[in-house]
Amino acid sequence: MADHLQLSSYDVRDITEKAREKLGACQKSGQIVGMQVFTILEHQARVLYYPLGREAPWAFVHVNGEALSKPFVVLNTSRPVGEQVFGAAHELYHIWFDLRCDIVTTTGLDRGVLYDEPTLLSELRADRFAAEFLVDEHTLRREMDTYGIDKNSIDAQAVLFLSGMFYVPYRAMTRRLFEIDLITKRTYEELDVLDEGELARLRIRYGIEHELASERVRLDNLVDLSLSAYERDLITFEKLEYLLSLNMLTAEDVGIVSPEMSRMPSDS
């Protein structure tokens, strides 16, 4: 995003309050949200999980402003799980708080593209909301105390450990630590400069688990709707197979056996 744009102190306070309000409403106050954010998102939108490729955005949402119409969200399962989690929380901000009545936004904007200032500011707000919602300051400090992580000696190993615990990207955790004054700007810059290869080697060295891209496919409740239609004889077995294939499934995967072919009677 444009370097000259940043959130005001008022924006930060407002977003922090919004995140705490939503954590309370979701009964997640004081908890690590992690992958539960997917379930929260699914209650707010129609969610498609699909491998769009490593170069595609982490997620995107379309909100059309109609009161009875659910927003439409796609999560890119070609990205690591932490990025999917962050993308889901980012899109929740747009669904809950973006005042534009007809919006299409993405998580992980192409930094080489020029976007208008309102869009960039909206994305900054959504990023900060995702950080506040997924890595609540009180919860983060509590977990650091629990595992003996001293704020005066935070290094890449500590950041990788915390990012894995909270299911957020390494760089999102690094920025979060800086946002709440747990690391200095100098330490933030030293940690943020590490590339993905270095981070992968450090994870191996310290035995830190990392949820890789799942490449999974799940198109909202299409499987359930398809099976219900088949069970009520509203669609053929061939149609069911086609609909399941959109989710990269077969009839056998969901316990459906192909109906036997009718046979001509014997002459004997």
State the pLDDT at residue 268.
45
Read off φ and ψ for residue 60, nearest 5 degrees.
Answer: -150, 160
pTM of the model as a whole? 0.87
- Of the candidates 111, 110, 109, which has an alpha carbon nearest to the alpha carbon of residue 94? 109
Tokens 């940690």, located at residue: 191
Biggest alpha carbon–alpha carbon distance for the chain: 90
Name the pairing type of β-strands 59-63 and 103-107. antiparallel
Residue ranges, the chain, pLDDT below 50: 1-3, 110-113, 262-264, 268
What is the total residue count of the chain?
Answer: 268
Residue ranges per structural domain of the chain: 9-153, 221-268
